[in-house]
Chains A and B, each alone.
Chain A
Amino acid sequence: MRLSTQGFFTASLAAMQSQAAELAKLLNQVGLGRRVNSPADDPIASVHIRELERAQSESEQIAKNSVLIRNRLNLEEQALADAGTILTRVRELTGKAANIGTLSDADRRSIATELDSRLSELLDLANRQDGAGEYLFAGFSTLTKPFTGGGDAPIVYAGDQGSRLIQIGPAQRLADSHSGFDVFVDIPEGNGVFATSANAANTGSGVIHPGSVVDRPSWVPDDYTVVFTAADAWEVRDSATPQNVVASGAYVSGAPIEFNGVRIEISGQPAVNDEFTVSRSRSKDIFTTVRDLAQALRDTAETPAGAARLATALEGAMQQVDQASEHLISVRSQVGARLSALDTADSARESRDVDIASALSELRDVDYAEALMKMNQRLVGLQAAQLSYSQISQLSLFSYLR
């Protein structure tokens, strides 16, 4: 084929330019360490890169969330542990006060005084705040003091039953708290099925013991009254109007009284018309329990009726303190379960981070060995083109026309 002189120059120049352009591109890749610098370099990879970078950013946020929720759960755990310690002390004091024969009214009053200070300790703990000033046990109402009252006023819960969820994985959320309602308020009364108590106006020395459930399916939830129609006869009445007699029998001190699947015991000598109640279990908050106990200890026990009231109150309180402790333990175990779920989520996240980073590097980063080898090739190619151009361009017939 004929080759024009201009065509030869143009073609040689174009060849050198394209070599140089490829070289510049490789140099740019090596310089930045990135294989994909523009979406046009590899559109598919660039979508993946973007998605992975998004996942990385999401993961960073989740890591922050995780630190935060761990901190909150640890605070709650600490508060629950402290509450457990206080309850243990309350139980000790209750046991101490139960020695009715050896303690005087004054002795019991001093126990009551200590209980008062335990109560205010418990109240402070339930109103504990985190570093940011948010109440730990207020549900969603974290800026509202959840438990108000104290002293002579009853302690009431002003929070709600919410608990915040925090994102701890791409599709996993975990509650960061329990509400005060869940922890301190919603504690089952009595044995969880029914609770016993004595009428404050009783004049006899009858003491009602906590009792137990013997046949759960037969239990009909209601508030029952055990009425002594005579010193040696009792009737169990329900709460309907007019009241129905559910069971009746002859009284023997300490002998079990059974009706509707439950068994209670009354000991001592009740007077005629003395009343005891067997009511369906509701809830009793931890503060009322301690408060009622302190109150009972302040009353005199130096009459038979007073001693009986105190004995009933102490037995009931002992049971209620145990209920509260168990309840706190179950809440604490939930916190423990959340912390362990958080550990699992954290380690899953960490391993996912490693996966993302390696996938990202594979897609985005330049393989230096390969890039340098290609660069070398291009360099050799460019040098060859330059050399052959300078050699061939000197060939001209005119050189010989002298």
Chain B
Amino acid sequence: MADLLNTSISGLLAFQRALDTTSHNITNANTPGYSRQITEFMTRQAHPSGAGWVGAGVDVSTVTRAYDDFLAGQARNSSSAFHRADAYATQAERVSNLLGDSSTGLSASLQEFVNALQSVADTPTSTAARQTLLSQAQILVDRLQGYQDSLASFEAQVNSSMRTQADAVSSIASAIAQLNQEISSGYARTRQPPNDLLDQRDRLLDQLATYVSVSVVAQEDGSVNVSIGAGQPLVVGQHASRVVATGDPYDPTRMIVAVQSQHGLADITRSISGGTLGGMLDFRGQMLDPARNALGRMSVGLAEIMNEQHRAGMNLNGVMGGDFFSVGEVGVRLHAGNSGTATLDATRIPGAAGALTTSDYVMTWTASGWSLQRADTGASVSMTGSGTVADPFVADGLSLVVSGAPALGDRILIQPTAWAAAGMDVLVSSPNEIAAAAPIVAGAAAGNAGSGVISPGEVLDPTHPQLRSAVAITFTSPTQYTVGSDPTVHTYVPGQNIEVNGWRVQITGSPAAGDSFSVRDNVSGLGDNRNALALADALSRPVLNGGTTSLSAASGQFVSELGVKTNQAQVTRDAQKVVADEAAASLQSVAGVNLDEEAANLLRYQQAYMAIAQMIRVADTIFQSVLEATRR
């Protein structure tokens, strides 16, 4: 009968353990990261007898957790991808909402400026119209700088968020290393899985995956090795690396991600992918930097177009116009690790705004001399010239002069347009200084017998010393003319350009012998609006992007690119959300607690427990019967 009791007691103990596990499951039904645990039963070693093997009861062999490493890995990867897309899309939405508003938009400000220019063309002598143009110019500059400031503040947010996230990654890494130690010693002690510790560690890995993509390799002692991004080891056994956000070697205000080791900091920014950290870096590289450079290129284009035409005009004081806008210089930044003394003087080539790209460049001193690459793609860019003042390097609209002694591997970052908008200003301060008139005026002599008509004239070289000197064009016959006091006889071709003293006119029709035309200083022509119209025309000419894109098209493109990128990011996020939810649900369907299931288990184990209690009663009854029988 002892066997019967022993067997029953083994059952009582086993089902108590099972009930414990069930209650653990029920109480942790809402604990994040908790995996449901399962009590595994095993029959006890049976006793041999002449009549065969007699069963001896039940044992609990182990308590396992319902978990699937493959599903967990999938859930983690898709969560990384989702958090990357989500971080990118969230930032992108903010940028495009801020910069894409049509009422405060760039194209609206640009058109207002052109309209103000038209108003000056309508009434060139009106101070009010001129004042309005200056205000609109200031508004346009403010708008460009406002955009630049917004982008800069987004970058500052990216920087501070990188710092927070790098800290989070580091603290998670050290917590994982700590758990690795506890788990491996737990295994060694009991040879049983420490389920709750495993859950905790998996939950930390899940959290890590929201910051950056992770790959996990399980070790035999129960610990895991974790690497992030493109294989950068983060946790090896019980040792965790420290990840920090630190200043870019070109620009200390811009953050990069680095791993701290005994050799110092190693930049791992390029190998970071996935997670919110990857999303932030993507946002900065794919949206902020190109947008800032595109904005800068527009500013350069605007200033160049306006300045060139404005210098060709005459202002209300009767003198030639000056520059209208100033823009920021080309950014040149030496790498902090440079050991040579090389410095670089980079300028934009006047009139070559069309050749500027929206890329930054890195110039490197190699064994075969200086070489230039695009900073974003690393593609090599060819340069002409030799880099001296007399013969500068020329590439993509830039003129580069190097000086000093470089050391091998020294690098210099060149930002052709990044700071252009920030340094923008309106240089014309008084309404009278707006050059709305052309400096020359052409006319026919009174009583010309022929039907010749002279065009109003345009300025080719505003700096020509004789530009505004009076010149007569006299026809010696209907087909021949002389210019000024020069006796050279030219053959008349109707509509052909006549270029003298830095200006150009055309004569059409049939002039008669003795007819004459004059080109002279327009100093009294204060009501002239030709240069104002030329300015308006110039603003609609395609100058950017190799002469294919006008300013207004560029401002439209600027916003549409933001829109397209944001839209793509949103679509990616939505798609990744579905994938991530699906993967999480798959894991949950294996690991999650179902209360109905637990209620059923509770009933099952309770009934088994009651049945075994009944067994003990039976054993007792049998024993009493035997006692009763032997009393007599």
Contact = CB atoms under 8 A, between A and B. Distances in A.
A62 B122 CA distance: 10
Contact of B107 (A50, A62, A165): A50
B214 to A, nearest CB: 22
Contacts of B522: 140, 160, 162
13 contacts: A4-B36, A14-B581, A38-B566, A41-B567, A43-B567, A44-B560, A50-B102, A54-B110, A134-B527, A138-B527, A141-B524, A165-B533, A221-B449
B527 A143 contact: yes
A41 B559 CA distance: 12
User: Interface size for chain A: under 10, 10 to 19, 20 to 34, or 35 or more residues?
Assistant: 35 or more
Interface stretch (B163-171, B382-390, B488-496, B593-601): B593-601
A283 B107 CA distance: 51
Interface in B436-485: 437, 441-444, 446-447, 449, 456
Given A134-B125, A186-B447, A160 B525 contact: yes
A60 B122 CA distance: 14
A343 B110 CA distance: 28
A365 B77 CA distance: 41
Interface in A78-137: 132-134
A7 B123 CA distance: 72
Contact of A7 (B105, B107, B588): B588
Interface of A: 1-7, 10-11, 14, 38-44, 46-47, 49-51, 53-54, 57-58, 60-62, 64-65, 68-69, 132-134, 138-144, 158-162, 164-167, 173, 181, 185-186, 188-189, 221, 280-283, 285, 396-398, 401
A164 B563 contact: no
Given A160-B525, A188-B447, 7 more contacts: A39-B100, A40-B566, A46-B560, A139-B527, A280-B449, A396-B596, A401-B599
B603 A401 contact: yes
B68 to A, nearest CB: 12
Interface in B513-561: 513-514, 522, 524-530, 533, 536, 552, 556-557, 559-560
A158 B523 CA distance: 12
B115 A60 contact: yes
A86 B102 CA distance: 56
Nearest to B118: A61
B92 A40 contact: yes
Query: Which of A134, A185, A285 counts the most chain B CB atoms within 10 A?
Result: A134
B567 A4 contact: no
Interface string B558-594: 0110111011001000000000010001001111111
Q: Which 8 A-B pairs have the closest CB atoms?
A: A4-B592, A39-B563, A142-B527, A282-B447, A140-B525, A40-B566, A43-B563, A161-B443
Contacts of A159: 524
Given A60-B115, A165-B529, A4 B566 contact: no
B317 to A, nearest CB: 13
B108 A57 contact: yes
Contact of A140 (B92, B441, B594): B441
A71 to B, nearest CB: 11
A274 B595 CA distance: 136
A161 B444 contact: yes
A140 B592 contact: no
Given A6-B29, A162-B525, A186 B446 contact: yes
A193 to B, nearest CB: 9
Contact of A39 (B36, B560, B595): B560
A181 B111 contact: no
A283 B447 contact: yes
Contacts of A165: 529-530, 533
Nearest to A130: B123
Given A65-B118, A141-B526, A164-B527, A54 B108 contact: yes
A132 B111 contact: no
Contacts of A38: 93, 96-97, 100, 563, 566
Contacts of B97: 38
A42 B571 CA distance: 12
A142 to B, nearest CB: 3
B599 A398 contact: yes
Contacts of B126: 132
B111 to A, nearest CB: 4
B594 A1 contact: no
B114 interface: yes
Nearest to B517: A161
Given A5-B595, A141-B525, A185-B446, A65 B122 contact: yes
B585 A7 contact: yes
A58 B111 contact: yes
A96 B110 CA distance: 64
B619 interface: no
B505 interface: no
Given A47-B560, A166-B122, A401-B599, A4 B588 contact: yes
B524 A5 contact: no
Contacts of B49: none
B29 A140 contact: no
Nearest to A400: B599
Nearest to A160: B441
Contacts of A281: 447, 449
Contacts of B528: 140, 162, 164
Contacts of A134: 123, 125, 527
B559 A5 contact: no
A58 B115 contact: yes
A300 B231 CA distance: 117
A398 B595 contact: yes
Contacts of B526: 140-144
A11 B105 CA distance: 40
B106 to A, nearest CB: 9
B121 interface: yes
Most buried by B among A39, A41, A161, A285: A39
Given A43-B567, A401-B599, A11 B585 contact: yes
A167 B536 contact: yes
A4 B581 CA distance: 14
B30 interface: yes
